[in-house]
Structure 1
Amino acid sequence: MLYPKKISKIVLVIQTFNQSNFKIVCDTLAAGDADLAAIITTCGYPPMWSRLNTFETLVHIILEQQVSLASALSALNKLKERIQEITPARVLLLTDDELRACFFSRQKTAYVRYLAEAIVSGYINLESLAGLPDENIRAQLTALKGIGNWTVDIFLMFVLHCADIFPAGDLAAINALKRVKGVTQSTCREQAAAIAEKWKPYRTIATMILWHFYLASPKPSK
């Protein structure tokens, strides 16, 4: 096993990750967890999923709520095709019918409008969120209708690169964890989150390894 060779390169616990330390953290996790090590050995390192800190990104994450990634991307691209640049001001110029023509559900039409209005009014400043503690970011964003903990988790993980987030509401992560750890399908989210405690302070990167496994593996038959 080669993983321990890189552990010494992380002297202090990192709060955020980037391209220069991402694989080192993967190796650190693998050195302490044989199941994660097996994923990296079999599937390679996971992508370091990352998105820009923009209104468009939050719209994208909202669209991804409880639907396939392909469906969400289709709606985002349809919106981009209509207004070219996805900004709060341009979205607010669209009627509900125009947003529905972009494959937005009634609920997500309302959610995106609330977000756009919050940014235009100055209630939310996405750039300033980057300097706040995680709990403050969560409090500000979840105060908006349609933004719950899963949406904030993905924002913290993909946009701000916070190193220690486990999205307990993410079905792909939960199902991958169950398969990797060999626990029963009846294991609840709270129990899965408790298992993930072992991966502190790098639960975000552990989750990305789980997603990588989930995407690379054939789905079990029902």
Structure 2
Amino acid sequence: MAALTPRSYAAAVDVLVSGDRDLAAIVDRYGAPKLLSRPPGFPSLVYIIFEQQVSLASAKATFDKVSMLLPIFDENSYLKLSDIALQNAGVSRQKIRYTRLVAEAILAGGLPIRSLGRKDDATVRELLTAITGVGNWTADVYLMLALRRPDLWPVGDLALVKAAAIVKGVKGKPDKNWLESLGERYRPYRSVATGIFWKYYLNS
């Protein structure tokens, strides 16, 4: 379960752009994306849940407010926060429930979050998605950002869907089958290809 490093990420970008002129055009225009990463653990998983279906700026603002409420950002401290305190920080009722379930799963031993880095992608996804509120998108993004796995293709990611459709000249919203087929071109570096499409989305 080798994690990407800045060096291996840059090498993977070179491989991808050499085989796909559309990705090459993105890199030529906007520059090569850098490896995005977050520390593995409970705070990053909470942050990703906050990012579900909202803007990155909104999720960051909420995460920063919650962080200020905690002496240490761990599952024990988080569960001691009241619903009112979390709501005042911008966390929706639904996401309060989801993040509490994550914290409880860690404490109960159902989610061994500190050892996920030693497990394969499928096992990590299975453990994460067993928790209500943690779907495939959340699991994929955690694998990509926190565990820095090289071959994730989050087909439910709106930025990826929009960017891929525009770059590849698809009118309207492409279906899941089309996106999965496109992703097959980029194995074993689909996470890196996703980063290139994200680069396009954020700059176009």
- Using structure 2 for the length normalisation, give the TM-score: 0.96
Q: Hey, what does 1:201 align to over in structure 2?
A: 188
Structure 2: how far apart are the matches of 1:15 and 1:188?
31
Q: Match for 1:39: what amino acid?
A: I
Q: Match for 1:127: what amino acid?
A: R
Q: Hey, what does 1:25 align to over in structure 2?
A: 12
Once the two structures are superposed, residues 189-214 of structure 1 have per-residue CA deviations (whole angstroms, 9 ceiling, x without a partner) of: 32122112111111100000000011
Choose from 70, 84, 104 the match for 1:83.
70
- SS for the counterpart of 1:187 is coil
- SS for the counterpart of 1:46 is coil
2:198 is the counterpart of 1:211? yes
Q: Hey, what does 2:155 align to over in structure 1?
A: 168
Residues 153 and 191 in structure 2, CA contact (< 8 A), matched pair in contact too? yes
Residues 15 and 184 of structure 1: is their aligned pair in 2 closer, same or farther, counting only changes over 3 Å?
A: farther
Residues 78 and 102 in structure 1, CA contact (< 8 A), matched pair in contact too? yes
Q: Match for 1:160: what amino acid?
A: L
- SS for the counterpart of 2:60 is helix
Instruction: Report the structure number with the largest CA radius of gyration.
Output: 1
- Bigger RCO (CA 8 Å, 6+ sep): 2
Q: Match for 2:176: what amino acid?
A: R
Residues 6 and 34 in structure 2, CA contact (< 8 A), matched pair in contact too? no
2:52 is the counterpart of 1:65? yes
2:117 is the counterpart of 1:139? no
**1:104 to partner: Cα distance:** 0.6
Q: Match for 2:198: what amino acid?
A: W
Alignment of 1:96-107 (within 5 A): 96-107=83-94
**1:107 to partner: Cα distance:** 0.4
Structure 2: how far apart are the matches of 1:212 and 1:57?
21
Identity percentage of aligned residues: 40
Residues 168 and 190 in structure 1, CA contact (< 8 A), matched pair in contact too? no
Structure 1: how far apart are the matches of 2:173 and 2:136?
22
The structure 1 segments of at least 4 consecutive aligned residues displaced by more than 6 Å after TM superposition are none
Q: Match for 1:22: what amino acid?
A: Y
Residues 62 and 151 in structure 1, CA contact (< 8 A), matched pair in contact too? yes
For the aligned residue pairs, the C-alpha RMSD in angstroms reads 1.2
Residues 114 and 144 in structure 1, CA contact (< 8 A), matched pair in contact too? yes
Q: Which moved more, 1:40-49 or 1:204-213?
A: 40-49
**1:20 to partner: Cα distance:** 1.7
Consecutive unaligned residues of structure 1, counting only runs of 5 or more, are: 1-13, 218-222
Q: Match for 2:65: what amino acid?
A: K
Residues 186 and 77 of structure 1: is their aligned pair in 2 closer, same or farther, counting only changes over 3 Å?
A: closer
